[in-house]
């Protein structure tokens, strides 16, 4: 039982990170119908920015997170303006391949700039490094912070989307971009704002992963990115609570498979879940059913 | 029938063209102009032609975006390699031919099993499902004993020479070209243009999508088997997501829905890749930049959905002379 509870705690922290990345995928997919393959590399860049802030500039944790968020936001919006905006009216496959191209560019560009080797995050000291026991289960402050930050951000995001003016605009563009434009909504700036939110979240996730798992490399984004996308599909693409549920489910499944079965197969199980959910309920758990128009 | 009429027959024309290519390369090989390095590039080109035309059948002609083509290739490669390494050496070239056939059939069967459930999905969902499946195949290859895990298999007997390479490449391209010119091919194109309309006109969309998927997987299996039998070594990492993207890039660069475009792009990319060999560090960066630039400035690829044909060349020539007159 103790071991099980320990796995649950680990699953929650991993799931929080997937959920944070999944939010970026789900919002962008909801608004421009594009699987933003570059999103996972924005997360990787966030981790690197965090690394340099902590080691070279010796900033404290909170400032590091803020700097990483800012850098990722700038990067995300630049990608949107340079690569995706000219393709707004072209076919889906064109946009998808562009996204893959941008992703390769970021991965190999980073490999060229900082080298392909793995880097270790500096040891975090003070409050963040502490561990305490609940019964026989060990919980670290880091895990509490990871789960706390992600829950807080998701509540914040839900508030932005449901209660603010710009959030209303985002929902309108998601439903019908042309009609939204006719109603006086600036579609381009709404899409940019979506990228701002998604990239900022990816930046935070990057720093948190660096602190939690200690090691980063230029290709670190690929697998978590895919899994976060799976989480988004699982929960229903375009739905914010869905991304959260999906993220926690995928994180939990992964931890349980490596804990109780063969850890080599944990990725295969996640992909199998994806295929299963696509076959049984392609819209995901909370996705809305869009009727096909002829 | 006069000689002139005979020459006008398309079958004969194709035969003459293919024969000329075969003889020219054979002469280059015999005179030693084409050394081992060039021949290795030629093998890569031919394998890429097979992969790109088979993916073009699925993505360009039937309109089903697949991001997992490397998975089928790896099944062909592993099946062929394991078979060839376990038969008695006396089988000679028979082992190679049986291995290629077995690899292709295995890939085709997996294509059928994968295609039946996933082809109900549309667009991006299908892309992600195929990507997931090819990752599952890769993870299984890493974990099985018979595939020797992440280290992969080495010492696969080499039987691929120019004759077999030519036979299989030309065979696959002709198979796909003829498939596209048949009733089945037209049904596939109808699905690409508008799936609902095709369905209403009585095309069994699921059936044709699965058929296209199986033919594509079968051909990818052949490509994988050829790869295994030329390059000695195969390991799961060779057939990852990046390989699938490579194949897709060839197809999109050549033009979705243009077989000759795929062939042209496969040759062009291989030449470019060997030219960039000396800039190994930024090669992938340049590749990525090129990919994005093509998508922004020429999203329809080099050929669009046209084929290279004499008629097209004549039209091109006419346009040139026309422009000259106007000046």
Using CB atoms, pick whichever of B140, B256, B299 lies closest to residue A268: B140
In a domain, A280, yes or no: no
- Asked if pLDDT for residue A126 goes beyond 70, the answer is no
Using CB atoms, pick whichever of B128, B256, B288 lies closest to residue A108: B288
Tell me A133's DSSP state.
Answer: E
Q: Which CATH class is domain B13-326?
A: mainly alpha
Which residues from B are below 8 Å from A when comparing CB atoms? 59, 65, 117-118, 120-121, 123-125, 127-129, 131-133, 135-136, 139-140, 142-143, 196, 241, 245, 248-249, 252, 256, 281-282, 284-285, 287-289, 291-292, 295-296, 299
Rounded Cα–Cα distance for residues A89 and B200 (Å): 28
Other beta carbons within 10 Å of A152: 10
| pLDDT score recorded for residue B253 | 87
Are A97 and B133 within 8 A, CB to CB?
no
The pair of three-digit structure tokens given for residue A26, joined into one six-digit string: 């789900």
Q: Report yes or no: B227 and B155 within 8 Å, Cβ to Cβ.
A: no
In a domain, A113, yes or no: yes
Name the minimum distance, in Å, from the CA of A26 to any CA of chain B. Answer: 13
Rounded Cα–Cα distance for residues B64 and B36 (Å): 38
Q: Report yes or no: B74 and B142 within 8 Å, Cβ to Cβ.
A: no
Q: Which residues in chain A have their CB less than 8 angstroms from residue B282's CB?
A: 108, 112
| pLDDT score recorded for residue B321 | 56
Range(s) of the domain holding residue A205: 19-220
- Asked if pLDDT for residue B31 goes beyond 90, the answer is no
Range in A96-110, A258-272, B76-90, B185-199 with the lowest mean pLDDT: A258-272
pTM: 0.86
Are A264 and B121 within 8 A, CB to CB?
no
Q: Report yes or no: A231 and A243 within 8 Å, Cβ to Cβ.
A: yes
Long-range contacts of A141-147 (CB under 8 A, 24+ apart): A142/A13, A142/A211, A142/A212, A143/A9, A143/A10, A143/A12, A143/A13, A143/A212, A145/A208, A146/A13, A146/A16, A146/A17, A146/A208, A146/A212, A147/A12, A147/A13, A147/A16
Q: What are phi and psi of A217, to 5 degrees?
A: -150, 165
A113, A160, B135 from B280: Cα distances, Å: 14, 46, 26
- Asked if pLDDT for residue B326 goes beyond 70, the answer is no
In a domain, A154, yes or no: yes
In a domain, A2, yes or no: no
Band of residue B327 on the pLDDT scale cut at 50, 70, 90: very low
ipTM of the complex: 0.82
Q: Which residues in chain A have their CB less than 8 angstroms from residue B117's CB?
A: 275, 279
| pLDDT score recorded for residue A293 | 52
Residue of B207 and A132 predicted with greater confidence: B207
Range in A75-89, B71-85, B201-215, B294-308 with the lowest mean pLDDT: B294-308
Band of residue A291 on the pLDDT scale cut at 50, 70, 90: low
Are A104 and B287 within 8 A, CB to CB?
yes
The residue with tokens 């060779």 is B238
In a domain, A247, yes or no: no
| pLDDT score recorded for residue B47 | 95
Other beta carbons within 10 Å of B93: 11
Q: What is the mean pLDDT of the segment spanning B158-173?
A: 90
Using CB atoms, pick whichever of B120, B128, B139 lies closest to residue A265: B139
Looking at the structure of chain A, the number of domains it has is: 1
| pLDDT score recorded for residue B277 | 77
Are B132 and A271 within 8 A, CB to CB?
yes
In a domain, A147, yes or no: yes
* Residue A203 CB burial class (10 angstroms; 0-12, 13-18, ≥19): buried
The H-assigned helical ranges of chain B are: 3-8, 10-31, 36-55, 69-86, 93-118, 123-143, 162-181, 183-193, 195-200, 205-231, 241-254, 259-275, 280-297, 310-326
User: What mean pLDDT is reported for chain A?
Assistant: 87
The pair of three-digit structure tokens given for residue B218, joined into one six-digit string: 């079968």
| pLDDT score recorded for residue B208 | 93
Rounded Cα–Cα distance for residues A156 and A162 (Å): 10
In a domain, A97, yes or no: yes
Q: Report yes or no: B218 and B108 within 8 Å, Cβ to Cβ.
A: yes
In a domain, A237, yes or no: no
Q: Report yes or no: A24 and A159 within 8 Å, Cβ to Cβ.
A: no
Which uninterrupted H or E stretch holds A172?
helix A165-175
Name the minimum distance, in Å, from the CA of B204 to any CA of chain A. Answer: 18
């Amino acid at each position: 039982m103790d071991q099980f509870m320990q796995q649950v705690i680990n699953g929650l922290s991993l799931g929080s990170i997937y959920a944070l990345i999944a939010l970026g995928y789900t919002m962008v997919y909801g608004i421009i119908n594009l699987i933003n393959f570059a999103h996972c590399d924005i997360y990787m860049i966030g981790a690197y920015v965090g690394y340099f802030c902590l080691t070279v500039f010796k900033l404290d944790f909170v400032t590091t997170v803020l700097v990483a968020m800012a850098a990722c936001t700038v990067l995300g919006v630049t990608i949107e303006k340079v690569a995706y905006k000219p393709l707004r009216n072209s076919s889906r496959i064109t946009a998808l391949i562009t996204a893959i191209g941008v992703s390769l560019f970021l991965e190999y560009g980073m490999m060229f700039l900082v080298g392909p080797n793995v880097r270790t995050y500096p040891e975090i000291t003070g409050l963040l490094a502490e561990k305490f026991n609940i019964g026989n289960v060990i919980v670290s402050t880091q895990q509490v912070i990871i789960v706390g930050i992600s829950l807080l951000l998701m509540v914040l995001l839900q508030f932005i989307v449901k209660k603010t003016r710009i959030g209303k605009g985002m929902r309108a563009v998601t439903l019908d971009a042309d009609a939204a434009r006719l109603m006086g909504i600036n579609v381009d700036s709404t899409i940019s704002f979506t990228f701002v939110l998604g990239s900022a979240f990816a930046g935070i996730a990057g720093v948190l992963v660096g602190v939690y798992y200690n090691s980063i490399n230029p290709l670190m984004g690929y697998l978590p990115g895919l899994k976060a996308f799976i989480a988004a599909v699982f929960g229903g693409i375009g739905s914010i609570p869905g991304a959260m549920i999906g993220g926690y489910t995928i994180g939990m499944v992964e931890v349980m498979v490596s804990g109780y079965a063969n850890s080599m197969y944990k990725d295969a199980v996640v992909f199998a879940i994806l295929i299963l959910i696509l076959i049984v309920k392609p819209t995901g758990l909370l996705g809305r059913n869009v009727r096909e128009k002829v | 029938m006069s000689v002139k009429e005979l020459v006008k027959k398309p079958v004969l024309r194709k035969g003459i063209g293919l024969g000329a290519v075969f003889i020219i390369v054979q002469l280059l090989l015999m005179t030693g102009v084409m050394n081992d390095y060039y021949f290795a590039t030629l093998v890569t080109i031919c394998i890429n032609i097979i992969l790109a035309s088979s993916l073009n059948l699925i993505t360009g002609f039937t309109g089903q975006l697949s991001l997992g083509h490397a998975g089928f290739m790896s099944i062909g490669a592993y099946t062929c390699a394991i078979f060839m390494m376990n038969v008695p050496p006396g089988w000679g070239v028979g082992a190679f031919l049986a291995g290629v056939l077995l690899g292709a059939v295995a890939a085709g069967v997996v294509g059928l099993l994968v295609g039946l459930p996933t082809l109900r999905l549309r667009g991006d969902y299908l892309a992600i499902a195929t990507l997931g499946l090819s990752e599952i195949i890769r993870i299984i290859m890493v974990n099985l004993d018979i595939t020797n895990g992440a280290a992969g298999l080495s010492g696969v007997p080499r039987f691929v020479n120019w004759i077999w390479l030519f036979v299989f490449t030309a065979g696959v391209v002709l198979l796909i070209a003829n498939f596209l010119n048949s009733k089945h091919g037209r049904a596939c194109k109808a699905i690409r243009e508008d799936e609902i309309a095709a369905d209403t006109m009585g095309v069994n969309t699921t059936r044709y999508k699965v058929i296209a998927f199986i033919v594509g997987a079968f051909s990818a299996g052949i490509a994988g088997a050829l790869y295994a039998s030329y390059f000695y070594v195969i390991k799961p990492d060779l057939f990852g997501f990046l390989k699938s993207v490579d194949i897709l890039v060839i197809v999109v660069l050549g033009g979705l829905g243009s077989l000759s475009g795929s062939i042209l792009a496969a040759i062009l990319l291989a030449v470019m890749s060997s030219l960039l060999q000396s800039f190994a560090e930024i090669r992938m960066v340049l590749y990525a930049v090129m990919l994005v630039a093509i998508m922004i400035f020429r999203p329809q690829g080099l050929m669009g959905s046209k084929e290279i044909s004499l008629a097209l060349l004549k039209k091109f020539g006419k346009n040139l002379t026309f422009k000259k007159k106007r000046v």
